[in-house]
Homo-oligomer: A and B are copies of this chain.
Amino acid sequence: MLPSANEHAITVDLDLDRPREECGVLAIASTSDDVARSAFFGLYALQHRGQEAAGIAVSDGRAVRTHKGVGLVNQVFQPGTLDPLVGGLAIGHTRYSTTGSNSERNVQPYVVETIHGPLGVAHNGNLVNADQLRTKLLERGAGLQSSSDSEVLALMLAGAEGANWEERLAAVMPSWEGAFSLVILAASKVIAVRDPWGFRPLSVGRLPSGGHAVASETGALRTLGCETSREVEPGEVVVLQNDIARSVRAMPPREQLARCTFEHIYFSRPDATWDGLLVHQARQRLGEELAREHPVEADVVIPVPDSSTPAAIGYGNASGIPYNEGFVKNRYIGRTFIEPTDDLRRQGVALKFNTLPTNIDGMRVIVIDDSIVRGTTSSQLIRMIREAGAREVHVRITCPPVISPCFFGVDMGSYDELIAHQLEVPEIADHIGADSLGFLSVPRMMKALGRDDGYCNACFTGEYPVPVQLSLDISKQRFDGVIQ
């Protein structure tokens, strides 16, 4: 629980203009009794997927114990908090969430007692038919304590027909529309589930001293010591029990898969492997392709750190223009509740970035950034580069313009907030003060990834792989029901 003063303070969001991932999930089925500490360190490796809340639930084969809270992993878990979490089966979660005094209610994992024993659920993604599913549950007489999809998923499972959790999953999973990479904790097993579209990543690996682990990203699996891992396939259910990983195909994968391209562009850590690609390599290739699609004469290529670094290296390699660093990022500036003075506010991102003048001064500079979503910070970064002496500033973006919101678990903002929904590319260039601006096109982007198909590019194209009610105000996604 955050100190109350914080909850109501004015938040100064010093984060850049980025889409926001909603979650990271983790599961471990181990032969050890001390799986909570492994889960704790595994969550650290997923912290970038959600910094506002974290939780771990552990089963010792009979009872499930949970610790969760608002804050970073190392704020939520203190010495002593892991001690009671005894057992060999665990699920964990890190969450990006909207702020608010009651957001604790939405912190995952969500754990309930059911007629079939304890059940814990943590998920990454978003169901597009959650409202209908909620209404059905409520009509059945259920009570909902949160606005989280996890509760809906858990209660549907609790009331489903079937001899075991696998059968119950098979019974209700077809009614779930949208993105869900799930980990489920029962008294004596852990289950990993991925939606048939394959929106969000989920992988499973073998632990060095026995048992298995599941995580949103392979980097977390390597942190836990897994030497190799494989994806949980779209529509696949993997049951981890008694040192065995058993695959159950609950649903066939959709003909048209819908992996989220933004995992490659921005969300996943560069050490993640997804769809057979190391993300660092994918980003380097996006940079290379960007150099081919939007070449420009210049003296130096610099990234907006840290996410654009591999792409800038790639752009440099492909163009022959020297790569260098042009910004230094203050790694300690996170979210603060203390408002800057007007003077400081005017400087905006300067609190988070300083320029390196000797690498910029007198030069024609190419700035590589991974995306422009709301367009709120690009103009400030460009102004800083000019003040550091750049003669020209050419902005290159490793993805296409974002013109549509995401309904599958990413907070892109609403139509009104998306700058590319309002302005054409030249207008954006003008708005941010760039000498030139180039976005990677969808075909080039897919070419860089080496794929023709199988990805969701709805935020770039407006073509959603699952029908969504476009009339929906996107802010509805954050609506917290009548219980607040």
Contacts and interface: CB of A to CB of B under 8 A. Distances in A.
Select the residue from A81, A309, A355 with max chain B CB neighbours within 10 A. Answer: A81
Contacts of A8: 80, 83-84
26 contacts: A9-B79, A37-B339, A37-B340, A41-B344, A47-B332, A48-B332, A51-B332, A63-B482, A79-B337, A112-B483, A113-B143, A114-B138, A114-B144, A115-B138, A118-B482, A138-B158, A140-B141, A140-B159, A142-B142, A142-B143, A145-B145, A222-B350, A224-B344, A280-B328, A309-B325, A313-B324
Interface in A307-353: 309-310, 313, 317, 322-325, 328, 330-334, 336-341, 343-344, 347, 350-351
A139 interface: yes
Contacts of A317: 322
B484 A65 contact: yes
A414 interface: no
A115 B141 contact: yes
Contacts of A201: none
Given A38-B341, A112-B143, 13 more contacts: A8-B84, A41-B344, A47-B330, A47-B332, A78-B338, A79-B338, A114-B143, A114-B144, A115-B135, A140-B159, A142-B142, A310-B325, A317-B322
A142 to B, nearest CB: 6
Interface stretch (A66-74, A229-237, A249-257, A258-266): A66-74
Contacts of A381: none
Nearest to A142: B142
A166 interface: no
B102 A115 contact: no
Select the residue from A64, A79, A113, A143 with max chain B CB neighbours within 10 A. Answer: A143
A425 B434 CA distance: 50
A219 interface: yes
Interface in A1-46: 1, 3-9, 32, 34, 37-38, 40-41, 44-45
